[in-house]
Amino acid sequence: MSLDTLSATAPAYNFAYLDEQTKRMIRRAILKGIAIPGYQVPFAAREMPMPYGWGTGGVQVTAAILGPDDVLKVIDQGSDDTTNAVAIRNFFARTAGVAMTAATAEASIIQTRHRIPEEALTENQVLVFQVPIPEPLRYLEPRETETRKMHALSEYGLMHVKLYEDIARHGHIATTYAYPVMVEGRYVMDPSPTPKFDNPKMHKMAALQLFGAGREKRIYALPPYTDVVSLDFEDHPFSVQEWPDTECAMCGAENVYFDEVILDDKGSRMFVCSDSDYCETRQAEGHFGPQHAEYKERLK
């Protein structure tokens, strides 16, 4: 810092809102989380100026790791322009003034809710997840005192029984998002409510993955290149969502996660990429889907 940047009046809020003591406390929790991949570290989450359940955990993690030179991307449902992503981006624009981007490749920190970008992330990036219920066993056992014990003893029989019962009853594992994963063969972890489509991306990801749950006061982490295996059975292997014979109506992409858009009240629908930056980048590169104006132009 130079003398020029020192001003007589203190700013109303610290850089990235949280005071430095709080950031230090959160960084310690993050470091502990990185040291024990998949373990939920309790931390003294603060009340944030946005409601619990709206990303306060992710926001605190981002605020604790954010530096003035970082480039931040915020997505919700895969898109930079969904309302809550906009609100969180505004929060950091106002309190930290860092550079913002929608381009996945340009971001040094990506805060996300419910998706992992389609484009592979690199070692120079950090992916921060907003987590509502960090405990993968919560719906099987509501008591924290019990679930902590189960993690301590690696006692995950209950989870396997649940998955087995799904198969016995429905013929499938009836979990489509927040699909439980085993981390480095030790902790069962909730990947946050991302669709199971994104689970394979977590496995041995080059980027650091951090998970913040504000209301539940937990942080956990996946260091780069961590083993992340979705739970399954030999005769019922894990599989991800597929949309056979479907391409993005705007960019023509296949094998991505799609949003289904209803076009009228007569059952017409189309599919578009959930990852809006991925879709726009492809369009800019000249890939078009059947609903794109250029596509129709080309057919003429």
Query: Do residues 293 and 271 touch, judged by C-beta distance below 8 A?
Result: no
Among 6, 8, 44, 168, binds other proteins (CB under 8 A): 44
Considering only residues 174 to 213 of the shown chain, the ones binding other proteins according to CB under 8 A are 174, 176-177, 193-197
Taking CB under 8 A as the rule, does residue 101 contact other proteins? no
Among 23, 151, 201, 217, binds other proteins (CB under 8 A): 217
CB-nearer residue toward other proteins: 8 or 12: 12
Taking CB under 8 A as the rule, does residue 281 contact other proteins? no
Among 39, 54, 91, 211, binds other proteins (CB under 8 A): 54
What positions carry a catalytic annotation? 38, 248, 251, 273, 279
CB of 100 to other proteins, least distance (A): 11
Beta bridge partners of 110: 73, 127
CB of 123 to other proteins, least distance (A): 26
Considering only residues 102 to 131 of the shown chain, the ones binding other proteins according to CB under 8 A are 113-115
Among 122, 124, 154, 241, binds other proteins (CB under 8 A): 241
Taking CB under 8 A as the rule, does residue 257 contact other proteins? yes
CB of 116 to other proteins, least distance (A): 11
Among 47, 69, 235, 245, binds other proteins (CB under 8 A): 47
Query: What are the residues binding other proteins (CB under 8 A)?
Result: 13, 19, 42-49, 51-54, 56, 76-79, 81-87, 90, 113-115, 132, 143-145, 170-172, 174, 176-177, 193-197, 215, 217-218, 241, 249-250, 257-261, 263, 270, 272, 274, 276, 291
